[in-house]
Structure 1
Amino acid sequence: MNPTLVAGIDIGGTKIAAGITDMAGDVLFGARRPTPAGDDAAAVMGALAEVIGELAARPEWAAVRAVGIGSAGPLDGSRGTVSPINIPAWRDFPLVDEVRALVGGRPVGLVGDGAAMASGEHWRGAAAGARDAVCLVVSTGVGGGLILGGSLCAGPTGNAGHLGHIIAEPDGEPCACGARGCVETAAGGPAILAWALRHGWRPDGPGAATTQAVAEAAHAGDPVALAAFDRAARAVAVAVGAVANLTEARLAVIGGGVARAGDVLFRPLRSHIDMVTRLSFARGVTVVPAALGERAGVIGAAALARDL
């Protein structure tokens, strides 16, 4: 069988997903497992091996010529190692070598999960055809990727575009990265929930204290919930505005679980972006929701494999 297919793997703190795609980016077969993020390195690798095993058992596998990986980071794509904040057992873990051994020596590439999302949205999603775009994943954490000059800009180690750690509030909350006031400390789902609870929002019943519940309260007009999402939107706007001022990118694609809140995030986000892009060359950023949902990481990782 001619090698006309590619595979993509998306590794995060919650799930490991993978898929076989054709050269048009259509996912022909997918597999996933929960990430045993609290277990040892071998257990996490075991879950990944199971996912790869499902792909390898398919008849299409014979036509797979390369494998791309989008992983939570930080990582070092030049060495093929990962040290994800949300997978503590993997520190300088030789992910590329381990995966290469499981896929029969096929070429394997590695970028950050935010970069993979950007690549996927550029190939088949909301940034398709764009020359320049900033893409953000706003979920438990905040990641991102950059499309510049029509191509993914992943940087020498695969981490470029990690916009969740732009400083949005210099005197803000401590961040897991060691800095203070990162975008993630205001816009990540747990941050939105924690801020709302500190400022008097209360869920309707036991077990209802979730970011989604805050979003529902915001849609119902709760002032604290609305303020929590406004704060998140302002932080994301700082990141988008910084990229617009640096690169003249005029398209922002926002995905992830928090983005599913809809207008309570996007309405203030558009307003705040207008306030931080005042120079003529940066004005007029178009903000759109991501189109690929949970498939973005797999499709983006497959796009990386396509170019190996």
Structure 2
Amino acid sequence: MSDVAATVLGIDIGGTKMAAALVAEDGEIITEDRIMTPPGDAEQVFAALAELIGRVRGDVRPVAVGIGSAGPLDLRHGLVSPVNIVGWRNFPLVDRVQALVGDLPVALGVDGHCFALGEFWTGAGRAAENLLGIVVSTGVGAGLVVDGEPMLGQSGNAAHLGHMVVDLDGEACACGSYGCVETYASGPRMVARAQRRGWRSGEAVDAAVLSADAAAGDEVALAVFDDGAQALAAGIVATAVTVDLTSVVIGGGVAKAGPVLFDPVERWVKRLAQLPFVTDLTVEPAQLPNAGLLGAARLAWNTAA
């Protein structure tokens, strides 16, 4: 067992759940807990987070705190406005957590960045020099690790691959643009597209049902997954030729579809990646069930170093 005194506190905040853990310098999780993200106003949501933090910390004083949050965020001022937590708009998350933990350093990052950093640290990307991590779920998030460090960008929102436009005549996206990767590859958008084509019309179904039907050979489900895979591949290749990387890891609920998603993604990546320095692009499933939490902890270790 790692020395409990040498830990950081990692926090992972999303619209569905919030998790926290004490994590050692080698990535070992000492203690971990999670709760459902409550509905309500800003203070009700933060009160639940504060209780979770207190329960996980106990009497331990970590050396730093790392937070991964759904975005967008304002890294300079420590503000978060997660699209899936309606009570938090320009919420001063860093200051509020700082007030709970005292004089410890507190680092903040987008959840997609933390996912990539976690997989780079102890997951599927641990042998890579540079890594693109993608989370395909109710939305499409992403993060980049370049030369061992997360690429955050000037505002902290770099690598928003889900809102990369891949179809100039595409559907409207929640972000206000059109034809984004997310409009084709997110779970809810794939389900909606399939139902418009006659698949299980009128039924209350989700991406897990769609993937099961695709695996069973349903033509509409397969076609919709192929559309989503093409959009993901376009975003992957565009990122790869921009940043010059060859390693990609995909996680999230939709990634649990397995070959139904990964086979067409790999096929489209091979078709689109024609420049010599990206022809060796590899796309692998994520290995960690809690990559975002571990990535937040790695942010904390980087801050404490």
TM-score (norm. length: structure 1): 0.95
Q: Whole-Å Cα distance in 1 between the matches of residues 52 and 170 of structure 2? A: 39
- Is 2:130–2:148's contact at 8 Å kept on the other side of the alignment? yes
Q: Whole-Å Cα distance in 1 between the matches of residues 22 and 5 of structure 2? A: 12
Unaligned runs of 5+ in 1: none
Q: Whole-Å Cα distance in 2 between the matches of residues 128 and 156 of structure 1? A: 26
1:2 deviates by: 8.6
1:104 deviates by: 2.2
* Alignment partner of 1:171 out of 154, 169, 174: 169
CA RMSD in angstroms comes to 1.5
Q: Secondary structure at the match of 1:143?
A: strand
Q: Whole-Å Cα distance in 2 between the matches of residues 259 and 161 of structure 1? A: 19
Alignment-derived partner of residue 7 in structure 1 = 9
Q: Whole-Å Cα distance in 1 between the matches of residues 83 and 67 of structure 2? A: 17
Letter in 1 for 2:11: I
1:157 deviates by: 2.4
Q: Does 1:279 align with 2:275?
A: yes
- Is 2:22–2:57's contact at 8 Å kept on the other side of the alignment? no
Alignment-derived partner of residue 211 in structure 2 = 215
Equivalent residues in 2 for 1:11-50, closer than 5 Å = 11-36=13-38, 38-50=39-51
Equivalent residues in 2 for 1:11-90, closer than 5 Å = 11-36=13-38, 38-57=39-58, 59=59, 61-62=60-61, 64-90=62-88
1:156 deviates by: 2.4
Unaligned runs of 5+ in 2: none
TM-score (norm. length: structure 2): 0.95
Q: 1:291 to 1:101 in 2, by over 3 A?
A: same
- Is 2:4–2:30's contact at 8 Å kept on the other side of the alignment? no
Moved over 6 A (4+): none
Q: Does 1:264 align with 2:265?
A: no
Alignment-derived partner of residue 129 in structure 1 = 127
Q: 1:90-142 CA distances to partner (integer Å, 9 max, x unpaired)?
A: 11110000001111231100010000001100111011031111110001000
Letter in 2 for 1:39: G
Q: 1:17-61 CA distances to partner (integer Å, 9 max, x unpaired)?
A: 11101001111111111112x41111111111111011122x4x2
Q: Quick one: percent identity of the two aligned structures?
A: 49
Q: Does 1:224 align with 2:220?
A: yes
- Is 2:162–2:181's contact at 8 Å kept on the other side of the alignment? yes
Alignment-derived partner of residue 251 in structure 2 = 255
1:262 deviates by: 0.3
Alignment-derived partner of residue 150 in structure 2 = 152
Letter in 1 for 2:16: T
Q: Secondary structure at the match of 1:65?
A: coil
